[in-house]
Amino acid sequence: MSPGGPRLSGKVALVTGAARGIGRATAVAFAREGADLMLVDIAADLPGVPYPLGSESQLAHTAELCRETGAAVRTARVDVRDLAAVETAVKETTARFGRLDVLVNNAGIAAPSGRAAHEIEEHEWQLMLDVDLSGAWRTIRAAGALMTARGAGSIINIASTAGLVGYRHFAGYVAAKHGLIGLTKAVALDYAPRRVRVNAICPGSVRDDPRVEGRMLAEIARALDVPVAEHEQTFVQAQPMNALVEPDDVATAALWLASDESRQVTGTVLTVDGGFSAR
């Protein structure tokens, strides 16, 4: 908590992909700073994604960690490919908390990947874009009117350094994340007159912190068929700060964008990548 009091005091945030990883770290950071939360996750495995996604138990655990800080928390199982489900979650948020101030579009998948562009099946391409790009648009579709009507709010899209540069054999993911940055900038202009801010965060390689049960890095390594330790080492060396990014590093960046401290910041891309994209 900062000296001036909780930084998100009285605010209500909706976080997608909240069961684990950056989603969990962000939810807990927000809760600690006084926000009440609607936490959503698919909480089920997705056919076509070659690794387990968040589970109900993990989502419940994130909620428990948030409640320990005194936050009021609701959870819902939401697939961001399903607009009706996303709309229901937003409605539930306002029904329970009366408002929605912060939207964190964090839900995303890293695989199926690991192949050249022409080797990707069409349904795989569609799946990647549907979750990682269109998923963020759907929550904006569901919450945008509400936020602009109130004339306040912060939308934070968790993109990736893959939204800034290419990565070999990750065409779908890179395209979706580049798209997400484009979406961020366009919506920022749409909503600027209504004082709703829209920003993107591009995390570099984030360590799979067991406390938040992250597994993105391990899954990317698996998609590339290299040992996790070797993959980590490669990225540590690629990031000039000589370290992997921690989920908390991303969460604190999101915290700043969510708070009024960043009130003049919109349409920006905040990289949290240990200097990776500086060279």
Segment lying near other proteins (by CB under 8 A), choices 60-68, 86-94, 103-111, 263-271: 60-68
CA gap 190, 17 in Å, rounded: 25
Sole residue written with tokens 């890293």 = 110
Q: What is the separation of C-alpha 14 from the centre of its chain, rounded to a whole number of angstroms?
A: 11
- C-beta of residue 38 within 8 angstroms of C-beta of residue 17: no
Residue number, 152 or 224, with CB nearest to other proteins: 224
Catalytic residue list? 173
- Write down how long the chain is: 279
Check residue 238 for interaction with other proteins (CB under 8 A). no
Among 10, 64, 260, 263, binds other proteins (CB under 8 A): 64
Which residues, at least 6 apart from 181, have a Cβ–Cβ distance to it below 8 Å?
157, 159, 163, 164, 200, 202, 269
List the x/- string, 191-230, binding to other proteins by CB under 8 A. Answer: -------------------xx-x----x--------x---
> Interface with other proteins includes 75 (CB under 8 A)?
no
As a whole number of angstroms, the distance between CA 235 and CA 242 comes to 9
- Which CB atom, from 2 or from 237, has the smaller least distance to other proteins? 237
277 lies in the site for other proteins, by CB under 8 A: no
Helix axes 171-191, 122-129, angle to 10 degrees: 30
- Exposure string (b/e) for 172-196, b if CB count within 10 Å is 16 or more? bbbbbbbbbbebbbebbeebeebeb
61 contacts other proteins (rule: CB under 8 A): yes
Residue 236 near other proteins by CB under 8 A: yes
Choose the binding region for other proteins from 58-66, 141-149, 185-193, 254-262 (rule: CB under 8 A): 58-66
| 58 near other proteins, judged by CB under 8 A | yes
Nearer to other proteins, 169 or 222 (CB): 222
Contact footprint for other proteins (CB under 8 A) = 52, 55-58, 60-61, 64, 210-211, 213, 218, 227, 233, 236, 242-243, 246
